C-alpha cells in the first residue's frame, strides 16, 4: 500500500491534498500534530470525507512531530479523534498502559482497550533519526507484542545499514504485518522497494520537498512501487550523489512498455563492495554506474569488452549465470552520435575539453576510429596522462581558443555549465567558425552556454541529453535484451 502523509494545517487542506493524490494511493495518514488547534475537534469526521483507510497519528515533537503538547492532552486528542472511523491508530512503542489512560466526562478510559474493542488496528512505532539500531530485529518483535503492527522508522547512513533493512523479512519471517521505513537519502531504495523489505506500506508525500522524500505520483506512475512482487526483476543506478539521476525516467517506462516485470531504482552507494553483497542478496539483475564508482567497480567485473578495459571506466553491469558482465555505453553512444560525421569525412580532427571519466570514453572512441585528438584540461597533468595513453596531443585549458579553425569536432566533457552552474561557459572563449560539430556532455540544462555559442555560429550541435538517452537505450538493451521502445520519450535535460 502507498500511504500519503497528510500534514496540512487544516482538514480542508488535507482533503484537497488527498484529492490531488487519490489516484496514486490506497491509504493515508492524518497527522494531528500538523493541524491548527482549532481543527482538532473535527478530526473525527475526516475518515468520512476521505473515503479510504486512514492512519491516525499525533506525532510527539521528539519523534519529528510539528507541535509540542502536554502528553495527557495529546492522548486525549488522539482518543477523541479516534472515535471516527480510522482504520489504524499509531501509538509510540514506549507508551506504557498507564500512559494511555485518559479522562472523558469524568470517567477514566483506556485508549488501547477502546481501540481494540472497536476493531481499530494499533501500530506501535519507533523512530530513530540518527541511525539504524543494532537491535532492530528484536525491537520489531517487541513492538509487535499484544497483536500490534510494529513500525520502525530509522535512518541508514551506508549500504551496510540498507542491507540490515533488507534482511528484516528474512530475520523475522513470522511477523506478516509490519512497517519498516528507511528515512533520508540512504533510505530511498528501501522506500521504493518496501515490499521487498517486508513492509506492508510505504509513506509518500504530496510533493517532494525534503531529504529522501518521494511524492505519491512518482511512487505510483514512475516506480509502480505497489506492484512489485517476488518475481519483479530489480535494476538500478549506483552513485554518490544519485538521487538527481534521470535514469529511472529512462528505464521504468520502457520496462512497462515491453511488459517486463522489472523496476529501476536509485541506490546511494558509498562503497561498491557492500553494494555487490546487497545486489546478490536481493538479486539485482543489472545496474548503471555513475560518479564516483565507474572505475572502482572494474575489479569485480568478470567480463569486460577490451575497449572498455582500456577506458578503465564501466557504466553498465549485468548479472549473468556465473559473473557480473560490464560495458561502457557512454563509449558506444558517443560513437553512434558522431559515426555518420566520421564516416562522411566531416570529422577528421577533434578537440576534447576535459580529461575525466567521460573524456576517457570520448578520446578512446575517437582514437579507435583514427581521429587525431587534442585534449585540454584544467589540470594539465590529467590531460597529459590521457594524451599519453591514447597517443593524443594535449594543451592547457587557456589555450583552447588557439584551436579555432583547426578542428572539426569540439566536445565538452567537463561539468562546466551543468546546473547549478548554468552560466558557466565550457568553451573557454573558443571562437566557433560554424564548421565544427559541437558536442556537450552536460545534459542539464539542455541548451548550455557552450551549445548556444556554437549554434549561433551555425555549428551542428549534439546535446548531452541526447547522449544520456542514447547510452540509456543501450543499457536498456543490455538489461532486457530488447530494443528501447520507440514510443517512449523520457524527459531529460529540461
Residue 384 as a binder of ligand NAP (CB under 6 A): the answer is no
Stretch that binds ligand NAP, among 75-83, 99-107, 250-258, 348-356 (CB under 6 A): 348-356
User: Of 156-175, which residues contact ligand NAP (CB under 6 A)?
Assistant: none
Residue 410 as a binder of ligand NAP (CB under 6 A): the answer is no
In whole angstroms, the minimum distance from the beta carbon of 476 to ligand NAP comes to 14
Stretch that binds ligand NAP, among 111-119, 210-218, 363-371, 411-419 (CB under 6 A): 411-419
Determine which helix (DSSP H) or strand (DSSP E) holds 124, and give its type and residue range: strand 121-127
Candidate residues 212, 357, 445, 490; the one interacting with ligand NAP per rule CB under 6 A? 357
Please, which residue, 144 or 315, has the CB nearer to ligand NAP?
315
Candidate residues 50, 143, 358, 362; the one interacting with ligand NAP per rule CB under 6 A? 358
φ, ψ for residue 475, nearest 5 deg: -60, -40
| Catalytic (active site) residue 294 | yes
485 CB-side CA count, 13 A: 16
Please, which residue, 10 or 415, has the CB nearer to ligand NAP?
415
Please, which residue, 81 or 361, has the CB nearer to ligand NAP?
361
In whole angstroms, the minimum distance from the beta carbon of 424 to ligand NAP comes to 7
Q: Exposed/middle/buried for 388, CB within 10 Å: 0-12, 13-18, 19+? A: exposed
Closest by Cα among 112, 110, 63, 57 to 86: 57
DSSP codes joined into one string, 217-269:
HIIIIIS-GGG--TTPEEEEEEESS-TT-SHHHHHHHHHHHTT--EEEEEEE-
Residue 330 as a binder of ligand NAP (CB under 6 A): the answer is yes
User: What does each C-alpha distance from 313 to 280, 301, 464 come to in angstroms?
Assistant: 22, 11, 18
Residue 242 as a binder of ligand NAP (CB under 6 A): the answer is no
Q: Are 247 and 479 spatial neighbours (Cβ–Cβ below 8 Å)?
A: no
Please, which residue, 79 or 418, has the CB nearer to ligand NAP?
418
The sign of the dihedral angle between the CA atoms of 373, 374, 377, 379 is positive
User: Of 428-487, which residues contact ligand NAP (CB under 6 A)?
Assistant: 441-443, 464, 467-468, 471
**Quick one: DSSP state of residue 66?**
S
Q: Are 401 and 425 spatial neighbours (Cβ–Cβ below 8 Å)?
A: no
Selected catalytic residue, list 151, 195, 220, 294: 294
User: Of 263-292, which residues contact ligand NAP (CB under 6 A)?
Assistant: 291
Q: Give the other-Cβ count within 10 Å of 145's Cβ.
A: 10
C-alpha cell at 12: 480542508
Please tell me the count of residues contacting ligand NAP according to CB under 6 A.
24
Q: Are 304 and 298 spatial neighbours (Cβ–Cβ below 8 Å)?
A: yes
Please, which residue, 230 or 423, has the CB nearer to ligand NAP?
423
Residue 143 as a binder of ligand NAP (CB under 6 A): the answer is no
Please, which residue, 8 or 472, has the CB nearer to ligand NAP?
472
In whole angstroms, the minimum distance from the beta carbon of 49 to ligand NAP comes to 46
Active site residues: 294
Residues that bind ligand NAP (CB under 6 A): 291, 330, 354-359, 377-379, 382, 413-416, 418, 441-443, 464, 467-468, 471
Amino acid at each position: 500500500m502507498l500511504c500519503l502523509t497528510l500534514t496540512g494545517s487544516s482538514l480542508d487542506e488535507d482533503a484537497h491534498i488527498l484529492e490531488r493524490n487519490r489516484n496514486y494511493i490506497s491509504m493515508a495518514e492524518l497527522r494531528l500534530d500538523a493541524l491548527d488547534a482549532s481543527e482538532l475537534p473535527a478530526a473525527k469526521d475526516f475518515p468520512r470525507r476521505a473515503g479510504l483507510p486512514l492512519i491516525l497519528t499525533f506525532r510527539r515533537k521528539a519523534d519529528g512531530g510539528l507541535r509540542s503538547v502536554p502528553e495527557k492532552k495529546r492522548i486525549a486528542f488522539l482518543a477523541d479523534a479516534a472515535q471516527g472511523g480510522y482504520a489504524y491508530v499509531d501509538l509510540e512503542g514506549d507508551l506504557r498502559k498507564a500512559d494511555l489512560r485518559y479522562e472523558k466526562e469524568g470517567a477514566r478510559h483506556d485508549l488501547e482497550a477502546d481501540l481494540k474493542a472497536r476493531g481499530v488496528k494499533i501500530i506501535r512505532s519507533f523512530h530513530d533519526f540518527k541511525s539504524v539500531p543494532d537491535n532492530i530485529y528484536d525491537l520489531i518483535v517487541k513492538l509487535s507484542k499484544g497483536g500490534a503492527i510494529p513500525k520502525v522508522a530509522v535512518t541508514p547512513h551506508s549500504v551496510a545499514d540498507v542491507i540490515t533493512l533488507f534482511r528484516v523479512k528474512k530475520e523475522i519471517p513470522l511477523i506478516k504485518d509490519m512497517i519498516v521505513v528507511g528515512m533520508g537519502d540512504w533510505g530511498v531504495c528501501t522506500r521504493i522497494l518496501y515490499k521487498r523489505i517486508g513492509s506492508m506500506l510505504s509513506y509518500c508525500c504530496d510533493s517532494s520537498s525534503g531529504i529522501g522524500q518521494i511524492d505519491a505520483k512518482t511512487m505510483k506512475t514512475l516506480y509502480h512501487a505497489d506492484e512489485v512482487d517476488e518475481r519483479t526483476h530489480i535494476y538500478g543506478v549506483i552513485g554518490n550523489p544519485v538521487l538527481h539521476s534521470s535514469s529511472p525516467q529512462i528505464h521504468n517506462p520502457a520496462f512497462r512498455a515491453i511488459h517486463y516485470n522489472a523496476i529501476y531504482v536509485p541506490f546511494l552507494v558509498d562503497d561498491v563492495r557492500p553494494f555487490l553483497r546487497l545486489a546478490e542478496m536481493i538479486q539485482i539483475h543489472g545496474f548503471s554506474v555513475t560518479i564516483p564508482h565507474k572505475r572502482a567497480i572494474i575489479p569485480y567485473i568478470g567480463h569486460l569488452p577490451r575497449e572498455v578495459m582500456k577506458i578503465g571506466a564501466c557504466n553498465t553491469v549485468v548479472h549473468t549465470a556465473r559473473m557480473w558482465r560490464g560495458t561502457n555505453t557512454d563509449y558506444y553512444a558517443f560513437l553512434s552520435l558522431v559515426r555518420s560525421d566520421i564516416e562522411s569525412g566531416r570529422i577528421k580532427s577533434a578537440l576534447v575539453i576535459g580529461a575525466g571519466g567521460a573524456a576517457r570514453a570520448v578520446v578512446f572512441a575517437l582514437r579507435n576510429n583514427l581521429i587525431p585528438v587534442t585534449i585540454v584540461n584544467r589540470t594539465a597533468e590529467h590531460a597529459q596522462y590521457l594524451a599519453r595513453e591514447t597517443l593524443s596531443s594535449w594543451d592547457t585549458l587557456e589555450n583552447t581558443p588557439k584551436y579555432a579553425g583547426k578542428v572539426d569536432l569540439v566536445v565538452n566533457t567537463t561539468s562546466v555549465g551543468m546546473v547549478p552552474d548554468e552560466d558557466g561557459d565550457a568553451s573557454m572563449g573558443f571562437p566557433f567558425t560554424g564548421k565544427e560539430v559541437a558536442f556537450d556532455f552536460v545534459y542539464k540544462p539542455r541548451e548550455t552556454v557552450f551549445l548556444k555559442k556554437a549554434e549561433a555560429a551555425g555549428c551542428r550541435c549534439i546535446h548531452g541529453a541526447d547522449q544520456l538517452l542514447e547510452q540509456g537505450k543501450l543499457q536498456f538493451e543490455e538489461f532486457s535484451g530488447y530494443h528501447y521502445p520507440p514510443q517512449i520519450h523520457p524527459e531529460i535535460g529540461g
